[in-house]
Structure 1
Amino acid sequence: MGFLKPEETALAALQAGYKKANMGLSEQIPLGFAAGAFVAIGYMLALRSTAALPPGWEGLSSLIAGAVFPIGLILVMIAGGELLTGNMMGLSMAVFHKKASVLQLVKNWTIITLCNFAGAIFVAYLFSHVLGMLESGPYLDKMIATAEHKMEDSFLHAFISGIGCNWLVSLGVWLAYGAKDGAGKVLGVWFPTMTFVALGFQHIVANMFVIPAAIFAGHATWAGYFTNFVPVFLGNAVGGGIFVAGLYYAAFRKKQQKSAKAEASASIHTGELKQDAVL
């Protein structure tokens, strides 16, 4: 198990952002749906794993939830998926390097938001509501309390919480890009994701599951959901786009430009212009 150097990871993130910016709908729709469903399943597991813990065990509850929730992000990175929070980092990196346009970024974020929402709400309706996995006993109480807590946050609180969340989630994706094998990807995603969950930060796609689940159970409203959606979306965008992509772009842009020119020159001499060299 090993990892690339930080500047090499930055180049890998740029390449990933470039590919995402040029991905067609035939890939975006199923991969976006899958990613939303994966995150929802991870969140449902976290709620069911902690619902029966006694009062006063909040710290342990947060730790357990954090330990199991990352399965959703791991599935996205290993099995394949297009997750909005990761794309907020990747597409921003490509835009900063002028390898993608702002229009491409907006289109990608819009499509992936809708597809993630479809996947998350599918799990919320089918498994939480129809199957009833979160609509009885302590599971219902835990789910309602979680959704209400998120919707009670002020705009500023939810925005700042969103920044913290995607700063960590995007760092997990960043580490996965730099991992040289599957074990490295799992560990790279696991610990930053575990940290954001344990700290209680707000993740836009996770909220696409838990708040609609509470709505289907009759304990929340769509107005409350969309009031929460805006600040969390903006906070997640800042966390991934500025505090990860922006910082590492500022740190490594000169090295990446030199590397890209060297790759292009070598490829031209050998007659093989690789996609990586184009970057």
Structure 2
Amino acid sequence: METTDQNKSEEQQNIDNELKKSKTSEADTAKSHGEILKQQIIEGQETYDKNPISILLSSLTAGLEIGFSYLLICVMFYFLSGKVAEDTIIKSLSLVYPLGFIMIILGQSILFTEQTSLLTLPVLNKKRSLPSLLKLWGLVIAGNLLGGYLIAFLLVWLGPRLEIFDLKTVEKIAIHVTQYNNIVILASSILAGWLMGLLSWLVAASKDTLSRIVIIFMITAVLAFTGLHHSIVGNVEVFAGLITSSAISFLDYISFIALALLGNALGGFVFVALLKYRAFVYDVKG
């Protein structure tokens, strides 16, 4: 038993030493796997070290800012209704969907799905504990959801008064998001979490703001075009439907948000954080 613990300790020391060797690449050179992983672990640890109130406020800000994606979705849906086929409208929403994500990520607010793999890496690297991860996830999710509730109330009140969309549009979008069975929503959310974890990894790999904008647009547009379920955007979409339409029940909302959060977390953790970290570990082992 003592030998096993010693071997694990030596293995962890080798991993840490290899990460320390990773230096920042020159401006015209692509970052290595180790460099990206080191940056992600450092950024993740910095989030753990923040004041809980700061984390909650940053998460609340992200929940509010994602509302700008929802605002444009509603406006575009309403503007194109009756002019083009509804399935064409749904696909075209991918052109405006990325805006909120660009604002959040470049503005460095804390979004659950973008931070899922980032916050998991320090746990995998044995620098943070699982309970601390779950506590941090809870804070981030609470802030994101609360921000989403606030912006949903504001937009469903303001939209009809500005005549930029109506409540029927809100209902159609909410029904479109929730019309699938639970297994489909969960599987869809896992893929969305995978893409968002990959987004975090690719943003860390990029070296300038324009590259980051392109990456964010590309990944989140894929989410929208394919209809994959994102828990934080979906929170605004479904909650707005809940407070304005009898077609969306409280059970519909709770079922959706639980499955979407679970799926997004699994996707970000398993397919990005775990696999990329283990790939590095096996490379260190030789």
Fold shared, TM-score > 0.5 on shorter chain: yes
- Which is further off, 246-255 or 184-193? 246-255
Distance 1:257 1:138 in 2: 57
Distance 2:37 2:285 in 1: 11
Please state how far the C-alpha of 1:215 moved relative to its aligned partner. Answer: 1.8
Which of 250, 265, 274 is residue 222 of structure 1 equivalent to?
Answer: 250
1:153/1:63 CA distance change after superposition, 3 Å: closer
2:53 counterpart residue number: 26
Please state how far the C-alpha of 1:205 moved relative to its aligned partner. Answer: 0.5
1:85/1:42 CA distance change after superposition, 3 Å: same
1:194 counterpart residue number: 221
2:172 match: secondary structure = helix
Distance 2:237 2:68 in 1: 10
Aligned pairs (5 A) from 1:159-178 = 159-178=186-205
The answer to whether structure 1 residue 108 and structure 2 residue 136 are counterparts is yes
The answer to whether the 8 Å contact 1:172/1:191 transfers is no
The answer to whether the 8 Å contact 1:43/1:69 transfers is yes
Please state how far the C-alpha of 1:48 moved relative to its aligned partner. Answer: 1.4
The answer to whether the 8 Å contact 1:125/1:213 transfers is yes
Please state how far the C-alpha of 1:80 moved relative to its aligned partner. Answer: 2.0
The answer to whether the 8 Å contact 1:39/1:120 transfers is yes
Distance 1:35 1:148 in 2: 24
Which of 71, 81, 87 is residue 58 of structure 1 equivalent to?
Answer: 87
Q: What is the aligned residue count?
A: 256
Distance 2:234 2:105 in 1: 20
Distance 2:269 2:161 in 1: 34
Distance 2:165 2:280 in 1: 49
Provide, for residues 17-62 of structure 1, a one-character-per-residue CA deviation record: whole Å limited to 9, x for no partner: 2222222213112110110111121122122123332453524x34
1:51 match: secondary structure = helix
- TM-score normalized by the length of structure 2: 0.81
Q: Kindly report the root-mean-square deviation, in angstroms, between the aligned alpha carbons of the 2 structures.
A: 2.4
The answer to whether the 8 Å contact 2:75/2:164 transfers is no
- Which is further off, 17-26 or 110-119? 17-26
The answer to whether structure 1 residue 158 and structure 2 residue 185 are counterparts is yes
Distance 1:253 1:111 in 2: 30
Please state how far the C-alpha of 1:159 moved relative to its aligned partner. Answer: 0.4
1:262 counterpart residue number: none
- Which is further off, 115-124 or 93-102? 93-102
The answer to whether the 8 Å contact 1:11/1:256 transfers is no
1:4/1:62 CA distance change after superposition, 3 Å: farther
Please state how far the C-alpha of 1:137 moved relative to its aligned partner. Answer: 8.6
Structure with larger Rg: 2
Provide, for residues 71-98 of structure 1, a one-character-per-residue CA deviation record: whole Å limited to 9, x for no partner: 1111111112111112211112221111
Provide structure 2 residue ranges, at least 5 long, that are not aligned to the other structure.
1-26
1:242 counterpart residue number: 270
1:118 counterpart residue number: 146
